[in-house]
Amino acid sequence: MLQFSINKVKYRFYMFSKSPPNRSPGLSFKLINSYLGTGDLRRARQLFDKIPQPDLRLWTLLISAHTQHGFSKEAIKIYSTLKLRNIRPDKLLILSVAKACALASDLVKAREVHEDAARFGFHSDTLLGNALVDMYAKCKNVDGARRVFDDICIKDVVSWTSFCRSYVNCGLPRQGLEAFREMGLNGVRPNSVTVSSVLPACSELKDVNLGRQMHGFVMRNGLESNVFVSSALVNMYASCLRIREAELVFSNMSHLDVVSWNGILTACFLNKELEKGLALFYKMRNEGVKLHTSSWNAVIGGCTQGGRNELALELLGHMQDSGFKPNQITAFELPGQLWRHTKINQISAWRSIKFQRDIVGIF
């Protein structure tokens, strides 16, 4: 069925290439969208380049597709091409390129997109403003996020959530919590995304009292069933070295994902409960939880901190046998611990491993 669909698209491409240049814009949109639907960005771009004057729908479609497929830098280049042709973008097109800048964490282009939004009178729009705040947050530029936020006429829960998150992402947890309070004072009700975005601020401050206040808010507003909120609570209590409270939240979760499992693992190891952490890790594997590199890093790190260096090396071997590549966390943090505690031959075994150093872990 899939092959039939692809062949049909290829036939359309052939007929399109033979058709006159003044073809219907609607036909152009359908054909390009067909290729984008199959993930064939190259053919879609070939079709696009054959159109003498693509309309804004086509520009937006092409930029959005490249961003969605992970080619954010190419999406930004397409926007630059549009500007060179002196084409005036609309709100949706600027929205699509703002998402590309966020994904690429390109602050220079982000500022340019913000300037374009202001020049064309879109900067006070709620939908676009929210995207611009998120864009600056992803670029770790809280001043830009603040300027956009202040310009938004009607600030909704997404606006406030993005604004709070911009402070937390930029390493300013107290300001993030202050923005969260300000949100409530302005009569905007936080949702599960807001709470899961702000809880890491409590984790970073190691302030369990603030964390418990947030937990109370979660319970009063019925947000405890949300997996992201519960996982953030587990991580918060783990960071504050409150293992029992972390376990209580974890045990009451109806759905467990790898983030919540990693949170309780970290709580155990931070509290020097090595055997409990190992038992949880083996339970994860037995229950078929899809592990992440960060899961292996947590248990290997727990073993080295607990003096179980031989087990750490054994787990490292299992990690690689399972198809996981050690990342910067594995490569740069754990060897120092092993150097202090392991025998020379164990250190040599560790150092003989070829680390993939260009991947950054979650923890």
For 259, the token pair is: 């983030």
Residue ranges per domain, the chain?
24-150, 196-279, 291-363
CATH value of 24-150 in 1.25.40.10, 1.20.1260.10, 3.90.1010.10, 1.10.287.370: 1.25.40.10
CA distance 340 to 214: 39
Between CA 294 and CA 361 the distance in angstroms is 6
CA-CA distances (angstroms) from residue 292 to 132, 163, 319?
31, 29, 10
> Where do we find the tokens 């504050």?
240
Question: What Å distances lie between residue 88 and 55, 93, 106, 115, 228, CA to CA?
Answer: 11, 10, 22, 13, 40
Q: Report how far residue 109's alpha carbon sits from residue 162's, in angstroms, rounded to the nearest whole number.
A: 19
Please tell me the predicted confidence (pLDDT) of residue 345: 43
The pLDDT assigned to 152 comes to: 95
Q: What is the DSSP string of 192-243?
A: HHHHHHHHHHHHHHT-HHHHHHHHHHHHHTT-TT-HHHHHHHHHHHHHTT-H
Query: What is the per-residue pLDDT for 308?
Result: 86
pLDDT score of 334: 58
Q: What distance in Å separates the CA atoms of residue 329 and residue 169, rounded to the nearest whole number?
A: 19
pLDDT tens column, 21-71 = 455 556 677 888 777 777 788 888 888 888 888 889 999 999 999 999 999
For the purposes of burial, counting CB atoms within 10 Å of the CB of 186, is it exposed (0-12), middle (13-18) or buried (19 or more)? exposed
All residue ranges of the chain with pLDDT < 70 are 1-27, 328-363
